[in-house]
Amino acid sequence: MEEHFKQDVREVWKRSNFYLLVEGGLATVFATLAVHHSGATDSIVIAFGVFGQVIALVWFIVARGSLFRLRQWRKQVMELDKIVDRH
């Protein structure tokens, strides 16, 4: 059962690392466009900035949901472990 707990924590970290990779890429593109912007690319710079903020908000909601479900699962497993004690 201990391995299930560790696997869930690894999955949360994988998701978080993927989020950091995506956000890092968006920030790089945003910074590059912002430095080299001209009148024609103002809308592109704004679009990347807004897209990055939307992705950050969505990922925050996903991460909170994952942690909530993980806590609920662990709580239920602990309750079941007390009921079904094999030792």
- Per residue in 14-25, pLDDT (tens digit) is 877 888 888 888
**How far apart are the C-alpha atoms of 59 and 62, rounded to whole Å?**
5
pLDDT digits (tens, 9 = 90+) for 50-73: 887 888 888 888 888 888 888 888
**How far apart are the C-alpha atoms of 26 and 56, rounded to whole Å?**
10
**How far apart are the C-alpha atoms of 70 and 44, rounded to whole Å?**
38
pLDDT of residue 22: 81
The continuous run of DSSP H or E covering 56 comes out as helix 42-83
pTM of the model: 0.59
The total domain count for the chain is 1
- Output 40 or 87, whichever has higher pLDDT: 87
Return the axis-axis angle of helices 2-35 and 42-83, rounded to nearest 10°: 170
Domain that holds residue 7: 2-83
